[in-house]
Structure 1
Amino acid sequence: MNDDPPPAPGIPPPPSMPPVPRAARWLLHGFAVLCLALGVIGIFLPGLPTTVFILMAAWAAARSSPRLHEWLWYHRLFGPMLRDWSRGGWVSRRAKWHASFVMALCAVVLFLTVQKLWIPIVASSNMAVVLIWLWYRPEPPPPQ
């Protein structure tokens, strides 16, 4: 993590958080690493949300590991979503469409493979609620 290039000009520094007790710091750091791992797996595994896990990893890292939090903040893939979220809960239109596609794909797979009809109905209903919430999130302003 120390060999990363310096942050790009124009990117604000990550927000700092007040320190937490040592025991909580260890627990939060473990939670951050777990969420980061799940977020990375979610890139490749449909149905496992990447964004939510990266947001939770950044939250926990901000309170437990400034180095990990800074790495996430300036990361090429994860940084933009964290910075957009911190500016007002923004979610890009591309991320919304991607989430919609993956959830629709998961719903189709569930309906085709699960024997008990109530399972895909409940899962699809939950995905629909998440998508409604997601599409109501504000989008970042267009670049100037």
Structure 2
Amino acid sequence: MTTNTPDKLQKNPLIRLLLTAAGILSTALGILGIFLPVLPTTPFLLLAAACFLRSSPAFHQWLLEHPHLGRYIHYYLDGKGIPRKAKIYTLTVLWLSISVSIIMVPLWPVRLLLVVIASCVSVYIIRQKTLEPPSLPEKLS
């Protein structure tokens, strides 16, 4: 992701304030998305980075350099994909939470909608490139 340049920063202070607020809200939603399987993480963090790019160099830098949140942005922008472990975890939590929701919701149209949403999210996650861990060097004999 590019660094802030003077031409990228919004000049209007009210718009900068609104962009900063939108960036903070998007960051919070992205963090929630780590724990809530139906809420996406990466799109919210990308939106936050875009808002901060135009409003707050300090927040933008903090987000990109954050040890946990920054990697979501870098993996996506670099086209590296999603780590296999994260895919498995996400799909497991997604289907467990959807299953509990289906049991608790008595209306069959809502149950059907939950299955459709979970299926679409699953297809999206599965189709994303899988980030393979770096291979270990072979042992020296």
- Count of aligned residue pairs for this structure pair: 131
Asked if 2 retains the 8 angstrom alpha-carbon contact of 1:47 and 1:106, the reply is no
Match of 2:111 in 1: 120
Q: Report the alpha carbon displacement of residue 44 of structure 1 after superposing the two structures with TM.
A: 4.4
Residues 78-122 of structure 1, C-alpha deviations (whole Å, 9 max, x = no match): 111111111126222222222211210121011110010111211
Root mean square deviation of aligned Cα = 2.3
Fraction of identical pairs, as percent: 31
Asked if 2 retains the 8 angstrom alpha-carbon contact of 1:51 and 1:81, the reply is yes
Tell me how far apart the structure 2 counterparts of residues 143 and 67 of structure 1 sit (CA, whole Å). Answer: 32
Structure 1 runs not aligned, ≥5 long: 1-13
1:51 maps to which of 37, 42, 64:
42
Asked if 1 retains the 8 angstrom alpha-carbon contact of 2:83 and 2:132, the reply is no
Per the normalisation by structure 1, the TM-score is 0.76
Structure 2 runs not aligned, ≥5 long: 136-141
Superposition map of 1:1-144 within 5 A: 14-16=1-3, 18-22=8-12, 23-45=14-36, 47-88=38-79, 90-143=81-134
Q: Supply the AA of the counterpart residue of 2:87.
A: K
| Structure-2 change in CA distance of 1:56 and 1:95 (3 Å) | farther
Per the normalisation by structure 2, the TM-score is 0.77
Q: Supply the AA of the counterpart residue of 1:32.
A: G
| Structure-2 change in CA distance of 1:48 and 1:141 (3 Å) | closer
Tell me how far apart the structure 2 counterparts of residues 26 and 85 of structure 1 sit (CA, whole Å). Answer: 27
Tell me how far apart the structure 1 counterparts of residues 85 and 46 of structure 2 sit (CA, whole Å). Answer: 17
Residues 18-57 of structure 1, C-alpha deviations (whole Å, 9 max, x = no match): 2334243222211110111223334445544333322322
